[in-house]
Amino acid sequence: MFRSNNIVARIFQRQICTPAPGTSVHCARRFYENLVPSFTIYDVECPDHSFRKFTDDGQYLISFSRNNQDLIVYRPTWLSFSCKEEDCDAHDLPSKARRFESFFTQLYSVSLASCNEQICKDFFLYMDSNQYGIFATTSTVQSQEAPATGGAIPGFPSIEKITFHLLRLEDGVILDEKVFLNDFVNLVHNMGVFLYDDLLAIVSLRYQTVHILQIRDSGNLVDVRAIGAYCHEDDELFLNSNAQCMAFPDKSKLHQLPQNHVQNGLHHSQPNLEEFFLSGIKQRLLSFIFRRIWNEEKDRTLRVQCLKKKFYFHFQDYVDLIIWKVQFLDRHHLLIKFGSVEGVVQGARNADHYPAFFAVYNMETTEIVAFYQNSAEDLYHLFEQYCDHFHSTSRNSLYMNFISSHSNNIHALEQLRSIKNKASSSSQFVKKMLGSLPFSCQSQSPSPYFDQSLFRFDEKLISATDRHRQSTDHPIKFILRRPPYSLKFKIKLGPEAGSADGRTKKFSSFLFHPFLPLALSIQHTFLSSQPSVVNIHFRR
């Protein structure tokens, strides 16, 4: 759209040319090719906090104190000095400007964790419509192998107390809290919690329940439903009121089409089952699999054989599946990942060895809509074409719709295709790609510098996903995607001198402001005694 790379010429051209329909945001983002954070202040003197993230609307910088007890919130501002000389660019920055405080103003510091608790540094969710932030504190008392009592499944550690705090970030007032006792929620990188609009889904791995909460405008966390043992809100009431009518299931009914009511749940009456019924979500799952196999085969004898081979043979494996991770697809649908206990406990390390399944669950009708194995080509095609819809963002935050993914960006798609062509086995490739599902919430930065159609950069060294990466001495280059394909700016982690102790592994994390040409790069080692090095990259 722009004929020249000069910013003044582009501004003039913007006055007279209308962008093509539907591309106004993309055209506006092209100005980021001209305004880049090319100047770096190395090793800024800053308070010794662990800086977590810029909020997605760019209003706040979230950081936690070193002892993980306090939350400190800053407002990103900008330098405010003026230069009265003739040729300002040649002058160096005044030393007063080279401070952390020139860029960030501290708004407040709130103590979230009491003495025997600590804030989970990896967890933070932001609701930009009301500027609410969600933080988590956990008690330091954890038992690794907790006994399976009270409906809990064995194999997971048990944290004595997990508290989710809802804060108004404007002034730091704690609005509400939600406490989970003797439970385990995976808080690392927001994995066990998903925020969609005003709905929050928290996966309790120990009790195998998905708690759905609503964040109201008044600042209250309201329980909406708990999916796991029960699906409908009144299932528990129904079961309790019919307790005396519960008889042993009639064996002859096992081959009939099961209804979607809890009392006719499909299960074997094994005397060693602790509870009489399988959990509600498990029953939905098993009956869905049964009906799907049933509907596919019209011939009666073949149908029974098919059932034996595909359903009854694997019945115990299906029963042993547990909820691993959950995300919203829209307000009514959840994408649930099921896996075996060993697979979940080991995490992503040995993903290939353990089975994993995905189910799409409708919370309103309490029906499973679809069920896929993690090597399903069907699901992979949906993932390839509609990846953006898996990154379900709330309707309010439009800027989150422009994060580059292989469904909306040709360069990202080419990268995906090249990985696909290099993959030795198609099912391994599909498993690897689907392993990233369900996506974690708010894990990608909306900064236009990560837009693949504007800049090319090494994805292994830096990317929109906020993860700690291994530090490199080489600067990370951002190169234009469009002619003249020039290097626009570099993110360098430290001045030329390498570290004295070459063996210390350094990790770096990058915090990019959502829309200002401002970025923080933080280099730290695992030794907590060494403070981290913070660099500020901005457009001078």
Partner 1 sequence: MGSLFGDWPSFDPHNFSQLRPSDPSSPSRMTPATYHPTHSRTLPPPDQVITTDAKNILLRHIYQRAEEKDLRPKRAAPEHLVPEHGCKQPRASSSSC
Q: Which residues pair with 519 in a beta bridge?
A: 512, 537
Residue in 42, 100, 277, 390 binding partner 1, rule: CB under 8 A: 390
Residue in 179, 369, 419, 487 binding partner 1, rule: CB under 8 A: 369
Of the pair 333, 490, the CB lying nearest partner 1 is at 333
376 makes contact with partner 1 (CB under 8 A): yes
Which residues, in sequence order, are CB contacts of 24 under 8 Å at separation 6+?
Answer: none
For partner 1, the binding residues in 69-98 under the rule CB under 8 A are: none
Shortest CB 369 distance to partner 1, Å: 6
386 makes contact with partner 1 (CB under 8 A): yes
Of the pair 184, 288, the CB lying nearest partner 1 is at 288
Of the pair 239, 293, the CB lying nearest partner 1 is at 293
Residue in 104, 230, 371, 449 binding partner 1, rule: CB under 8 A: 371
C-alpha pair distances (Å), 534 with each of 41, 100, 356, 507? 9, 9, 40, 12
Residue 50, SS3?
strand
Q: Is 155 left (phi over 0), alpha (psi -120 to 50) or beta?
A: left
> Which amino acid, one-letter code, is at 257?
L
315 makes contact with partner 1 (CB under 8 A): no
Of the pair 273, 369, the CB lying nearest partner 1 is at 369
372 makes contact with partner 1 (CB under 8 A): yes
CB 507 within 8 A of CB 50: no
Of the pair 356, 533, the CB lying nearest partner 1 is at 356
Number of residues that bind partner 1 (CB under 8 A): 28
- Total H helices, total E strands in the chain: 12, 26
395 makes contact with partner 1 (CB under 8 A): no
Distance CA 41, CA 48 (A): 17
CB 296 within 8 A of CB 276: no
413 makes contact with partner 1 (CB under 8 A): no
Shortest CB 459 distance to partner 1, Å: 25
378 makes contact with partner 1 (CB under 8 A): yes
Query: Which two tokens mark 301?
Result: 């004898």
CB 514 within 8 A of CB 56: yes
Of the pair 5, 427, the CB lying nearest partner 1 is at 427
Residue linked to tokens 């399988």: 278
297 makes contact with partner 1 (CB under 8 A): yes
Distance CA 112, CA 353 (A): 40
296 makes contact with partner 1 (CB under 8 A): yes
C-alpha pair distances (Å), 75 with each of 17, 50, 63, 171, 254? 36, 16, 11, 11, 63
Residue in 34, 140, 214, 373 binding partner 1, rule: CB under 8 A: 373
Half-sphere exposure at residue 355, Cβ-oriented, CA atoms within 13 angstroms: 14
Residue 536, SS3?
strand
Distance CA 229, CA 280 (A): 5
171 makes contact with partner 1 (CB under 8 A): no
293 makes contact with partner 1 (CB under 8 A): yes
Residue in 174, 222, 239, 360 binding partner 1, rule: CB under 8 A: 360
Residue in 66, 261, 389, 467 binding partner 1, rule: CB under 8 A: 389
Q: Which residues pair with 379 in a beta bridge?
A: none
Residue in 99, 121, 161, 333 binding partner 1, rule: CB under 8 A: 333
Q: Which residues pair with 193 in a beta bridge?
A: 202
Shortest CB 127 distance to partner 1, Å: 20
Residue in 75, 310, 477, 481 binding partner 1, rule: CB under 8 A: 310
352 makes contact with partner 1 (CB under 8 A): no
CB 456 within 8 A of CB 479: yes
330 makes contact with partner 1 (CB under 8 A): yes
Half-sphere exposure at residue 235, Cβ-oriented, CA atoms within 13 angstroms: 21
261 makes contact with partner 1 (CB under 8 A): no
Q: By CB under 8 A, name the binding residues for partner 1.
A: 292-293, 295-298, 310, 329-330, 333, 360, 369-373, 375-382, 386, 389-390, 392
